[in-house]
Amino acid sequence: MADDEKKPDKRKDRVGLGGRKRHGIVARLRGYFFAGLLTVAPIGLTLWLFWVLLKFVDGRITPLIPQNYNPNTYLHSIIPFEVPGVGLIVLIIALIIIGALARMLLGRTVVRISENLVNRTPVVRSVYGATKQIVETVLKSQSDAFRQVVLFEYPRRGNWAMGFVTGTTKGEIQALTDDDVVNVFLPTTPNPTSGYLLFVPRRELMPLSMSVEEGIKMIISGGIVTPKDRRPLAEQKIKRIAAADGDKPTITPGDSMAALSEAPKSGVSEPEEDADKGD
């Protein structure tokens, strides 16, 4: 019995290389491995995605370049392979030239005539109109699309989702409700390019201080990458959302998206707003 009682102690005293316990070395090596993976993976994935995009553009644009104007034609005598990026450079130059021509009087006339022809085509005009509206909304420097990250309850009370404000609701949808409704895009994880368009009352949205880029990173990572809270410490201690309690609202009107509203709703008069503040 005495020998049996000593065996566990001997087992604990066993060491590996360097006089340290084996499980300690394995844990340290595993930590080094994951540290190296976290260091190399973002750089490797970025380079790989850039290379895939470069090859895709080159594969589509380079064959369209006349052989006499293709730089690879003259570089083959020096370099045995094609220089990557020629198609991308040609595409950028072509877009610059097209943009310059489109701003000229002749270019505007050609664009207007082309749009009139497209708008008269039954099927093409629907696709062209929707695509043009989306591109103009996203690319305009003065647009508010994807400029604010918000938190709201979805799909039910007590469950929270993060989305992006794409604009103020207008037209028939806003006319059918007394609420001041906001267009919110709810992306999916890990692909933020797909998602749902929701029309959420402004008073039920909680603006977040994180940037759009930080919000997209958090969605792509599935919550693994969480941005730091850069608000002042005094503001961090204030709970702006009440605990979930059935169907009771968890956000008070004073903590909602009032700071982000472009203008008060036309149907609300100043006395009513003062009455709400008094309450």
For residue 15, what pLDDT is reported? 46
Asked whether the predicted pLDDT for residue 197 surpasses 90, the reply is: yes
Say if residue 170 is in the same domain as residue 149: yes
Q: Are 204 and 157 in the same domain?
A: yes
- Across 208-226, average pLDDT: 88
Residue 7 belongs to a domain:
no
Q: What is the CATH number of the domain that holds 202?
A: 2.30.30
Do 164 and 254 belong together in one domain?
yes
Reference 210, options 195, 223, 197, 200; nearest CA is: 223
Residues 171 and 150 in one domain: yes
**Claim to verify: residue 159 and residue 216 sit in the same structural domain:** yes
**Structural domain includes residue 271:** no
pLDDT at site 261: 46
- The mean per-residue pLDDT over the stretch 191-199 comes to 87
Q: Which residue has the higher pLDDT, 247 or 255?
A: 247
pLDDT of residue 164: 93
Q: What is the pLDDT of residues 163-176, one digit of tens each?
A: 999 888 999 999 99
Mean of the pLDDT values across residues 249-256? 63
pLDDT given at position 87? 86
The answer to whether residue 274 is domain-embedded is no
Residue 152: the pLDDT is: 93
Residue 268 pairs in a beta bridge with none
| 237 is a domain residue | no
Residue 8 has pLDDT above 70, yes or no: no
224-240 pLDDT per residue, tens:
888 888 888 888 888 87
Binned at pLDDT 50, 70 and 90, residue 266 comes out as very low
Task: Evaluate whether residue 1 is within a structural domain.
Answer: no
* Distance (Å, whole) CA 66 – CA 98: 19
Both 155 and 170 in a single domain? yes
- Indicate the pTM of the whole model: 0.51
% of the chain at pLDDT higher than 70 = 76
CA-to-CA dists, residue 241 to 28, 83, 200, 245, 259, angstroms: 42, 56, 17, 12, 16
What the block records as the tokens of 177 is: 């409700």
The pLDDT tens digits for 181-194 are 999 999 988 888 78
Residue 51 domain flag: yes
On whether the CB atoms of residues 202 and 257 are closer than 8 A, the answer is: yes
Amino acid 144: pLDDT: 52
* pLDDT band per the 50, 70, 90 thresholds, residue 208: very high
For 118, the domain range is 104-139
Total number of domains constituting the chain = 3
62 within domain boundaries? yes
Instruction: Grade residue 262 by pLDDT with cuts at 50, 70 and 90.
Output: very low
Residue 203 has pLDDT above 50, yes or no: yes
Rg (CA), the chain: 29
Is the pLDDT at 60 greater than 50? The verdict is yes
Residue 120 and residue 189 share a domain:
no
Residue 144 Cα to chain centre, angstroms: 14
* Residue 83 covered by a domain: yes
Mean pLDDT for all residues in the chain: 77
Tokens of 104: 């000229």
Position 101 scores a pLDDT of 83
Residues 159 and 255 both lie in one domain: yes
User: For residue range 138-150, what is the model confidence (pLDDT) as tens digits?
Assistant: 565 445 567 789 9
**Could you report the per-residue pLDDT of 81-121, keeping only the tens digit for each?**
777 888 888 889 888 988 888 888 777 888 888 888 888 88
